[in-house]
Every structure is written in C-alpha cells, then in structure tokens.
Amino acid sequence: MTEETSSLAPEIVPDDATELVLGVAEKKFKWRDIKEKLIYALLFGSVLISVLTTIGIILSLFTETFSFFKEVPISKFLTDTQWTPLFLDKHFGVLPLVAGTTIILIGSSIVALPLGLASAIYLSMYASPTVRRIVKPLLEILAGIPTVVYGYFALTFVTPLLKNFLPGLPTFNALSASIVVGIMIIPMVSSLSEDALISVPKTLKEAGFALGATRYEVATKIVLPAGLSGVIASFILAISRAVGETMIVMLAAGSTPKFTLNPLESIQTMTASIVQISMGDTPQGTIEYKT
C-alpha cells in the first residue's frame, strides 16, 4: 500500500523548487533596485536643478555686471547722486536707488516687526486653541493677496488717508508704500515667529509659572529668548521680502530717483528701476539695459 501510494505521488526535485524560488526573489530584488535607482536619480535631479538655477542666476548677473563696469567706472556708480540712465544726460549713480530702497526697508520694518512679533506672542502664549485655529489662518490670508492689490490699496486708500494728517503729501510717496509693504510682510513675521515660540518645550514655561512668573514674564524672559533664532530668521526673511517688493512701490511710491531719506517724497527703489528699464523700450545690449 505504501509502495503504491509512493509510486503514484509526483516526484519533487528539491533543487528545481529552490531555483524557482530564488529566481522569483532575484527578479523582485532587481525590480526593487531599479526603483531605488530611479528614486535616487529623481531626487538628485531635483537638487541639481536647484543648484544649476542658482549658478545660472549668478552667471547672468555677473556677465551683465562685468559688461556694465567696462563702460561705467565703479567709483562713479557708487558715489554719483544722480540716476538718469534713460536721459540724454546719463548718470549712473546708484545712491538714489539705495536711498529709496532703504526708506521702504526701514518703514516696512517699523510696521511689520513689532506687530508681527506681538501677534506671534499672543497666538503662542495668550490665545486659546480655538482662537488660534481661527485667527492664524485669517492672518495668513494677507500673504496670499496679490501685491498689485496692495499697491492699489496704498494708492487709493492709504495715501488719501495720510493726506488728512499731512495736507502737503504728494500722491506718490514713500510713506504710504512703506506702510503697505509692512502690512504685507506681517504674516511672514507672525507665522514663522509663532512656530518658533510654540516649539519651545512646555517644561520651560511650566517652570516659569511654578516660580511665580506672570504670563508676560514667561513670554518675554523665557519663551522669546529660547525661540530667538527662529524669530530672527523670520525677521530676515520678511526684510528680504520687503527689499524685493516691486509692484507696491511702483504704484504707491512713484518712479522718481531722488537721493533723499525723506519718506514724504516720491522715490524709486532698485526693483522699480529694473521694471522701468525692462519694459521693452530699452534695446537689449545697450548701456541702459545693462544697468
């Protein structure tokens, strides 16, 4: 009986079965290796694109700068107080543009940094979770408004409002542009600073409260110093955003390059000058274009 059953059973060759299993496993490992290599190539390509883009920006700026300074002495560029590259009497002094950009930078920082930091302290230390969930998204909506809308708001609302207190204020002025640029960058300061402050360990806050400190003392003497690096990073990013702003200053501050630090006058920033020269009226390759 045992012999008949064993004779009817199919013969299994252990070596063949092992080779079959190993073959399937080998194919699976090969496909996994291919996928890993594709993912690696994709991620490396993403990094490479970023690096090449940065190098391209630097090379393009360096090339135009080198060509420009072959025709205009760098001493004249840094010391002349007139900027008239599109006039017949050409002057290439960058100081008026630096002064205009500085006014916008200082004015917007005075508006945005205190308000943004105060908002961050409130959201991280005083606001309830419900209030934080409502207020923070509403505050961040300001960051999504197009800058041309901010510029129109500065020209048609803020400037007429300022004229009620400053009757001689011109329609295009640096004060209005600075205020609105500051309003625009408040969400950046507030959101990033709040993230830095709320990430401070609760043990530090609780230790302060246990020692009898008030909420204000905990916020200013414990939480703020502990999250200072994140707060400073938010300040730097917001200031950089203010320096690079174009549309608001084009609409509200005017396009008059003056070597002045008076915010009540019409000025021109570096970005506004770039836009003015790049409108299409300046032939490419000329000294005006290279400015």
> Residue 17: which pLDDT band, with cuts at 50, 70 and 90?
low
How many beta carbons lie within 10 A of that of residue 96, not counting itself? 24
Q: How far apart are CA 231 and CA 193, in angstroms?
A: 5
Q: How far apart are CA 34 and CA 76, in angstroms?
A: 59
DSSP calls for 52-82: HHHHHHHHHHHHHHHHHHTTS-HHHHHH---
> If you ran DSSP here, which 8-state letter would residue 11 be given?
P
How many beta carbons lie within 10 A of that of residue 183, not counting itself? 20
Element (H, E) at 254: none
pLDDT of residue 36: 86
Q: How far apart are CA 12 and CA 15, in angstroms?
A: 9
Q: How far apart are CA 154 and CA 148, in angstroms?
A: 10
pLDDT digits (tens, 9 = 90+) for 104-116: 999 999 999 999 9
pLDDT digits (tens, 9 = 90+) for 187-203: 999 999 998 999 889 88
Q: Give the CA diameter of the chain.
A: 119
Dihedral of the alpha carbons of 187, 193, 196, 201, in degrees to the nearest 10: -120
Report CA 58 to chain centroid distance, whole Å: 18
> Residue 139: which pLDDT band, with cuts at 50, 70 and 90?
confident
> If you ran DSSP here, which 8-state letter would residue 10 be given?
P
HSE (CB half, 13 Å, CA atoms) of 109? 14
Dihedral of the alpha carbons of 284, 285, 288, 289, in degrees to the nearest 10: 50
Q: Identify the CATH assignment for 95-290 out of 3.30.365.10, 3.70.10.10, 1.10.287.40, 1.10.3720.10.
A: 1.10.3720.10
Q: What's the mean pLDDT in 1-16?
A: 51
pLDDT of residue 151: 92
pLDDT digits (tens, 9 = 90+) for 227-247: 999 999 999 999 999 998 889
Report CA 115 to chain centroid distance, whole Å: 18
Q: How far apart are CA 221 and CA 189, in angstroms?
A: 20
Q: How far apart are CA 61 and CA 55, in angstroms?
A: 10
Judge if pTM exceeds 0.85.
no
Q: How far apart are CA 34 and CA 31, in angstroms?
A: 5
Give CA angle at 288 (284, 291), nearest 5°.
100
